[in-house]
Amino acid sequence: MNSKAIIFDFGGVISKTLFETHHLTEIALGLPPGTLKWRGPFDPKNDKLWESMQAEEISERDYWLVRTKEVAKLVNIKWSQMSEFVKAARGADPTSIIRPEFLEVIVTAKLKGVRLAILSNELDLFYGSEFREKLSFLRDFEVIHDATYTKILKPTPDAYISCLRDLNLRARDCLFIDDQKRNIDGAKNIGLSTIHFNVIDPRASYKEVVDRL
């Protein structure tokens, strides 16, 4: 396969999940080690809320709003948005939670002349616009579609189509990477080649990206 562009999801694919960085969150917020026990895909049987999201009983945004409110209660702060939680947990050094495998892959992609795009449901909603400004690698991305502003959420077909339109490419010319199966299914439905990213083994997923280039 010779992809002309890679379209990345952001959370989970480009950045480490909050599940993976509980220890850093606890330090940043002054919580005792082991306070945060919800582990999402790393321990789904003990995270019933995550299982509800995977069963599409609630949205991803609903999941994180609940977790935001739970943590806000622990630290006695009123947060109404996910971005407030993320800023408190990660705001000082956002580059520290970017996956190193991702940074390696974009170097390879650029050398091969493969174009780069992001298609996210909640980039600025979850992370805040200030987070994005601290990430120098985003200058290499031609297109950043963020449903925080477009209001068109994956897996709605128009989310993918509008990103392809801005790239001026056909679906079959692009590789789409996401860690949520529903978004992978939506991409396949419009003809995109896909990789279902495994947050438990990111290096293997990024090796597949390189192999597919």
The structural domain count of the chain equals 2
Question: Which tokens sit at 130?
Answer: 């200030």
Q: Please report, for the domain that includes residue 162, its CATH number.
A: 3.40.50.1000
**pLDDT tens-digit profile of 39-89?**
999 999 999 999 999 999 999 889 999 999 999 999 999 998 888 998 898
Residues 128, 185 within the same domain: yes
CB 19 within 8 A of CB 41: yes
**Distance between CA atoms of 182 and 153, rounded to whole angstroms?**
11
Residues with pLDDT less than 70, the chain: 1, 91-92
Residues 105, 122 within the same domain: yes
Domain extent, residue 50, equals: 22-92
Residues 105, 85 within the same domain: no
Residues 75, 107 within the same domain: no
Domain end residue (candidates: 51, 74, 92): 92
In 76-201, alpha helices (H) = 82-90, 100-111, 123-127, 129-133, 147-150, 157-167, 181-189
Residues 166, 104 within the same domain: yes
Q: Residue 77's pLDDT is what?
A: 93
**Distance between CA atoms of 139 and 119, rounded to whole angstroms?**
15
Residues 103, 170 within the same domain: yes
Q: Residue 80's pLDDT is what?
A: 82
CB 168 within 8 A of CB 158: no
Residues 69, 120 within the same domain: no
**pLDDT tens-digit profile of 80-98?**
888 899 889 876 677 888 9
SS3 177: strand
What pTM, to 2 d.p., does this model score? 0.90
Residues 12, 27 within the same domain: no
